[in-house]
Amino acid sequence: MIAGSTVRRSDQNRALALSTIAFTACFAVWTIFAIIGVAIKKELSLNEFQFGLLVATPILTGSVVRLVLGVWTERYGGRIVFPLQMLAAAASTYALTFASTYSGYLLAALGIGLSGGSFIIGVAYVSRWYDKGHQGTALGIFGAGNVGAAVTKFVAPFVMVAWGWKGVADVWAAGLALMAVVFFLFAKDDPELTARRAGGTKPTSWAEQFAPLKKLQVWRFSLYYFFVFGAFVALALWMPHYLIDVYGVDVKVAGMAAAAFSLSASLFRAYGGLLSDKFGARKVMYWTFGATLIILFILSYPPTDYTITGKDGAITFSTAMGFWPFIVTMFALGFFMSLGKAAVFKHIPVYYPNHVGSVGGLVGMIGGLGGFVLPIVFGYLLDLTGIYTSCFMLLFLLVGIALAWMHGSIRLMERAAHGEALNRLPELPEMQSIHIPKAGA
């Protein structure tokens, strides 16, 4: 990894700024169906499962291509790969306006999903400009480009009211194509790629790039990201539809309300990177999983009517979360998810400095697949149970599994590193005075 001191600060800032803006534009396109999907659902009379599949299809492509795009970025550089990816996504977004059938929309959605591959391109590109002590902050700032989802929710409803959903697709496609040109003209090759070319060094082979993927730790990181990123994308896509159905608001109010979640789950990612650099990514992950477990339990509880037999007869009352308490709770959920997203990717350059593209690509792919799978499961659970909060029940279970796996793995590592010392400790602090260590401990 190239140390930050060997690179000019102006070049670092240029790389970070261009990558963050490009990622924001890509993410705005990647989540476009969160708004225009509502109009298409009505136009084609789609059921919940069909709607979930439509909004999730771009997430599938954007997830699967991350593994390849990450390796390509390490081999050929972000200055080349990023603009090509943006142009391909822009062309697909424009092509969406010519679709007329459900299958046609799905096909165009696959192409739009290429915009989601931008994340790993930016991670592989930006991480090479910074040393380990500043990578968490830099990648956190870059990851704040998730705010593109909020841009779509804030702006797209008004564009759709004025020009229809096809107008949204046209404007978003033009903006992404323009960003591709700007990036190519003003970005520079990263210092590691420049040094490799100057020295005539051959890039790492594909087999060497993918070798770390055999480690269970990589897959554990992937599960973390399946929740902190995949569930974020799924909820960003699902919330406008949820708010319209549950609270009866129109698409503009639903879009702006859902944007509050997207904002908190994006902007605070930079803060999550700063915290990871200062306190360690592991501690931030504990904060994330602990807080989201509580929040999701609250969100999971469906509106319920109670009847209690009192001394003077039946006492009835009900529990339900109002519109604004729901928005505030979702904002808090997004805040902790944003910290977790930064913390996961703080781990990768530290543990795998020479395999950021492949390891980050796999983690990003699994996380992105969460954004594809979860909206479909949300729709299926809603059809199956008829309970709108079933989506939060599923996420509560997912967080519980991730927290248990993380804590168990950490305890195993501590036991392996300090087994003898740990064996000499009592089970409870108050037993210290009478504790007798096990024989041979």
Q: What percent of the chain has pLDDT over 70?
A: 89
Q: How confident is the model at residue 255 (pLDDT cuts 50, 70, 90)?
A: confident
- Which pLDDT tens digit goes with each residue over 280-290? 888 999 999 99
Residue 66 has pLDDT above 50, yes or no: yes
CA 265 to chain CA centroid, Å, is 9
Q: How confident is the model at residue 243 (pLDDT cuts 50, 70, 90)?
A: very high
The answer to whether 233 touches 373, Cβ cutoff 8 Å, is no
Helix (H) or strand (E) holding 204, with range, is none
The reported pLDDT for the residue numbered 29 is 93
Residue 318 pairs with which residues in a beta bridge? Answer: 305
Contacts 24+ apart (CB under 8 A), 301-307: 301/389, 302/387, 302/388, 302/389
- Which pLDDT tens digit goes with each residue over 315-370? 887 788 889 999 999 999 999 999 998 888 787 877 777 676 677 777 878 887 88
Task: Please identify which residue in the block is written with the tokens 């992937």.
Answer: 222
Mean pLDDT of 243-268: 83
The reported pLDDT for the residue numbered 115 is 92
Give the range among 58-62, 73-77, 143-147 with minimum mean pLDDT: 143-147
Mean pLDDT of 226-249: 88
Q: How confident is the model at residue 17 (pLDDT cuts 50, 70, 90)?
A: very high
177 vs 153: which has the higher pLDDT: 177
Architecture of the CATH domain 4-419: Up-down Bundle (1.20)
Of 212-221, 287-296, 382-391, 431-440, which has the strongest mean pLDDT?
287-296
The reported pLDDT for the residue numbered 89 is 94
- Report domain extents, the chain: 4-419
Of 260-269, 380-389, 396-405, 417-426, which has the strongest mean pLDDT?
396-405
Average pLDDT, the chain: 84
DSSP codes, 142-164: HHGGGGHHHHHHHHHHHHHHHHH
The reported pLDDT for the residue numbered 84 is 94
Give the range among 42-46, 164-168, 406-410, 414-418 with minimum mean pLDDT: 414-418
Q: How confident is the model at residue 419 (pLDDT cuts 50, 70, 90)?
A: low
The reported pLDDT for the residue numbered 205 is 58
Q: How confident is the model at residue 201 (pLDDT cuts 50, 70, 90)?
A: low
Residue 421 has pLDDT above 80, yes or no: no
Mean pLDDT of 240-244: 88
Mean pLDDT of 181-206: 78
Residue 108 has pLDDT above 70, yes or no: yes
Residue 20 has pLDDT above 50, yes or no: yes
The answer to whether 268 touches 284, Cβ cutoff 8 Å, is no
The reported pLDDT for the residue numbered 5 is 47
The reported pLDDT for the residue numbered 4 is 41
Amino acid 28 reads A
Residue 310 pairs with which residues in a beta bridge? Answer: 313
The reported pLDDT for the residue numbered 3 is 43
- Read off the tokens for 94: 């424009």
The reported pLDDT for the residue numbered 88 is 94
For 360-386, b/e burial (b = at least 16 CB within 10 A) is bbbbbbbbbbbbbbbbbbbbebbeeee
Q: How confident is the model at residue 207 (pLDDT cuts 50, 70, 90)?
A: low
The reported pLDDT for the residue numbered 337 is 94
The answer to whether 149 touches 382, Cβ cutoff 8 Å, is no
Instruction: Assign 3-class secondary structure to 75-110.
Output: HHCHHHHHHHHHHHHHHHHHHHHHCCCHHHHHHHHH
Interior angle at CA 238, CA 66 and CA 106, nearest 5: 55
Mean pLDDT of 37-41: 85
Residue 48 has pLDDT above 80, yes or no: no
For residue 361, give Cα distances in angstroms to 1, 77, 119: 17, 15, 9
Residue 262 has pLDDT above 50, yes or no: yes
